Copies of this chain bind each other. A is one copy, B any other.
Amino acid sequence: MKKGVMRPGHIQIRVLDMDEALGHYRDLLGLIEVHKDSEGRVYLKGWTEVDKFSVVLREADEPGMDFVGYKVLNNEVLDQLHKELIEFGCKVEEIPAGELDGCGRRIRFDSPTGHMFEIYAEKEQTGKWGVSKVNPEAFPMDLKGMKATRFDHCLLYGPNIAGTIDLFCNVLGFDLAEQVVDDEGTRLAGFLTASMKAHDVAFIEHPEPGKFHHSSYILETWEDVLRAADLISITDTSLDIGPTRHGLTHGKTIYFFDPSGNRTEVFCGGDYHYPDHEPVTWLAKDLGKAIFYHDRQLNERFLSALT
């Protein structure tokens, strides 16, 4: 939060069929459905999130990610970063308050990797779902599916991650928490954080711009990751890989696909980071172990199945 960016606040995901998508994000992940807007977009959130929404599903002809938004401390931060984004050379657009129901003015900008991002300072705060603001219980009793607690981060593929990492670190104040470097010292992957989390966003070098690898939601425990795995089988959902652990971040994880082909991760645990920490480094020659700590080899899908 060094320059006032707090956290990933929302992601807009394109889905081919809204009903099927709700079966995935609401019933299986257990996100809370909170709103449908006049354009037909459906808004959801993890139950621990105090803002009104964090995931927006938009029906479209192609799967993928429209944009990810980061919440900043206040309007002064927003204005200052707006200026710096223009100076950096981003194509910057101001989205008026209310374009997403309940969300204030957003500053949208592109990145060298070809993705669209936003920052914003205001969103309606409806509080944690299902528990009281005073004397809150440990959890609501009527959560569904995997009981995802919040939207945590996304992993994006594109060219020139060096440029995007420069943008996030030097304009937005993120830190490089973990990385993969090859023998020449070229960075093939970067995991960036604005907080203590091992990553608030991550990038992997890839020739095609603007690709979406996965959105990720955090669970409480390794038992919850097992339950997620079981629910994936019980609901005959397409599994990518897991349950397993990552080498990078050491998070405990499972990957699977929504009905449109967008990859979803649920995970728990993982490293923490402070701004004075050197980045954790994995070598490209050990990429298999860096990604899948137990298998110590990549499955082909991890590098090629993108939306």
A residues near B, CB below 8 A?
1-2, 6-7, 48, 50, 71, 73, 125, 133-139, 141, 195-197, 220-223, 226, 229-234, 239, 242-245, 247, 250, 252, 269, 271-272, 274-278, 280-283, 286, 289-290, 293-296
Asked, given contacts A233-B294, A294-B242, whether A135 binds B286 with beta carbons under 8 Å apart, the answer is: yes
Cα distance, A141 to B274, chains bound together (Å): 25
A283→B245 contact, CB < 8 A: no
In the complex formed, the residue of B with least CB distance to A51 is: B276
Known A-B contacts A244-B243, A276-B6; A289 and B233 likewise in contact (beta carbons under 8 Å): yes
Q: Are B135 and A2 in contact (CB under 8 A)?
A: no
Query: Are A296 and B239 CB-contacts (below 8 A) given A133-B280, A245-B229?
Result: yes
A7's nearest neighbour on chain B, judged by CB, is B274
For the complex, what is the distance from the CA of A52 to the CA of B197, rounded to whole Å? 22
Known: A134-B282, A135-B247, A250-B138. A226 touches B230 (CB 8 A): no
Q: A1-B2, A135-B289, A286-B135 are known contacts. Are A141 and B234 too (CB-CB below 8 A)?
A: yes
Pick the residue among B71, B229, B233, B252 that contacts A137 (CB under 8 A): B233
Jot down 26 A-B pairs with beta carbons below 8 A, ordered by A. Answer: A1-B2, A6-B274, A6-B276, A48-B271, A48-B272, A50-B276, A73-B275, A125-B276, A135-B283, A136-B280, A137-B230, A138-B233, A138-B234, A138-B293, A139-B230, A195-B195, A196-B196, A221-B222, A222-B222, A222-B226, A223-B223, A230-B293, A233-B294, A233-B296, A243-B243, A243-B294
Partner of A1, one of B1, B221, B245, B286: B1
